[in-house]
Amino acid sequence: MQHRSGEHGPAGPVAPDAEPGADEVAATVALVEDHAPRIFTWRYERERPQLATLYGKAMAAQWNSETDLDWSTDVDPERLVADMGDAGVPPVFRVAATIPGSPLAAWGERELRRLGVELLQARLSQFMHGEQGAMIVAAKLVETVPWIDAKYYASTQTMDEARHTEVFARYLATKIGDPYPMTPFLQAQITALMQDSRWDIAYLGMQIVIESLALAAFGELRRTVSEPLLARILRYVMADEARHVAFGVVSLSEHYAQLTAAELLERQQFLAESTLFSRARATTPEVWERLGLSLPEVLPYLQQAMATTGPGFAGQFVQAFYAKLVPNVRKLGLLDANDGWLRREWERAGLLAFDGGADTASDYDDYDVAAELRARRVAAGAAAPAAGRDA
């Protein structure tokens, strides 16, 4: 079964032939003022070997959304969710349905499967919106970073993020269903990076925080999905995202070695705000509205159920996020700058358990699907003549 949606954006349908009014424009676009200066550089010498290496890998790793993905794959959203098991319909919802007075009490397996499909739509929608935000921020890096090697690489990332946005939008539209709007928290997070005049904050917020978050989110979904098209999309996207994080680690390590203690403290405070103090990770209340309920109706029962089930997959995702973020920040020198200001903040939050892991710049090759596929082709090519000689 394939689900094909109409011409709907996050805010609803827009008639393609109608002259857009102010309300329609406001519903389909968001205007953000960017205060960062654009930088031309006349220094074209290739002076940063690590960035040049990543640029070469980025060029070799470009994949084609039309030819490398089988869009003829038939996708049954309910079967996809059922095959995900507890990751498709987390136990917290089943427990909430057993609580007296719960608005989910009358639900059977059919309603729970529909909830699972809506949750997956909401999840993929945030991937799509986040990738568009990453595309815009990567384009800002092309304009604002002062080094030619970084401009070259950021140009390849802009293309990567465009492809990611495209494939998630297409998968939603042709396989799963209508998208959900961007959550207010994600929109505010990315808008702040677009508005900040300091180019390295766009790097830090996108390449280190949001891309580490994305790697964790894609990885958790990839481990539970057996549907071949989505699994392949996630595999390709994760390889790109790991390279993007490595780009941030390599670039910012050099830049932060030159900053003052006061400037480094600003970056440490930014990280603390991004990871500890901003607790309002907005959910997608529209999920419940599509099911004829509201989040305030359901939330007390979900909170009660969570006392029994624990954080479940959400807890695993948080662990995966910090397992990458903490080593990456350590590599930047921000964990221990200013007598360990951020180290103390994260230690109080119990995050230093992740300090011993490898940073993404060091373990990028583990994600490099393009290199893996090239190696297979080389091996296959070497085997063919040998087989001929044997014959």
Q: What is the average per-residue pLDDT within 10-29?
A: 54
- What CA–CA distance (Å, rounded) separates 95 from 82? 17
Helix (H) or strand (E) holding 114: helix 109-144
Rg (CA), the chain: 23
If you write DSSP's letter for every residue of 176-187 in order, what string do you get?
A: I-PPPPPPHHHH
Q: What residue segments make up the domains of the chain, in order of their start?
A: 47-69+76-368
- The answer to whether the beta carbons of residues 156 and 62 sit under 8 Å apart is yes
Longest dimension (CA), the chain: 75
Quote the crossing angle between the two packed helices 369-390 and 228-256, to the nearest 10°: 120
As given in the structure block, the two tokens for residue 88 are 């498709």
Amino acid 375: pLDDT: 61
Helix (H) or strand (E) holding 8: strand 8-9
Amino acid 94: pLDDT: 93
Q: What is the average per-residue pLDDT within 373-390?
A: 53
Q: Please report, for residues 6, 120, 223, the alpha-carbon distance to residue 75 in angstroms, rounded to integers and kept in the order given.
A: 17, 13, 18
DSSP state of 96: H
Q: What is the average per-residue pLDDT within 93-103?
A: 94
pLDDT band at 158 (very low <50, low <70, confident <90, very high): very high
What's the pLDDT tens digit per position in 76-97?
Answer: 999 999 999 999 999 999 999 9
47-69+76-368 has which fold? Ribonucleotide Reductase, subunit A (1.10.620)
Q: pTM for this structure?
A: 0.84
Amino acid 318: pLDDT: 75
As given in the structure block, the two tokens for residue 387 are 């087989």
Amino acid 155: pLDDT: 95
Amino acid 361: pLDDT: 66
Amino acid 13: pLDDT: 41
pLDDT for 7 beyond 50: no
Mean pLDDT of the chain: 85
Give the other-Cβ count within 10 Å of 10's Cβ: 15
What's the pLDDT tens digit per position in 287-346?
Answer: 999 999 999 999 999 989 988 876 665 666 677 788 889 988 999 999 999 999 999 999
Amino acid 360: pLDDT: 72
- What CA–CA distance (Å, rounded) separates 259 from 269? 15
- The answer to whether the beta carbons of residues 218 and 237 sit under 8 Å apart is yes
- What CA–CA distance (Å, rounded) separates 125 from 168? 8
What's the pLDDT tens digit per position in 204-214?
Answer: 999 899 988 88
pLDDT band at 382 (very low <50, low <70, confident <90, very high): low
Helix (H) or strand (E) holding 383: helix 369-390
pLDDT for 221 beyond 60: yes
- What CA–CA distance (Å, rounded) separates 244 from 154? 9
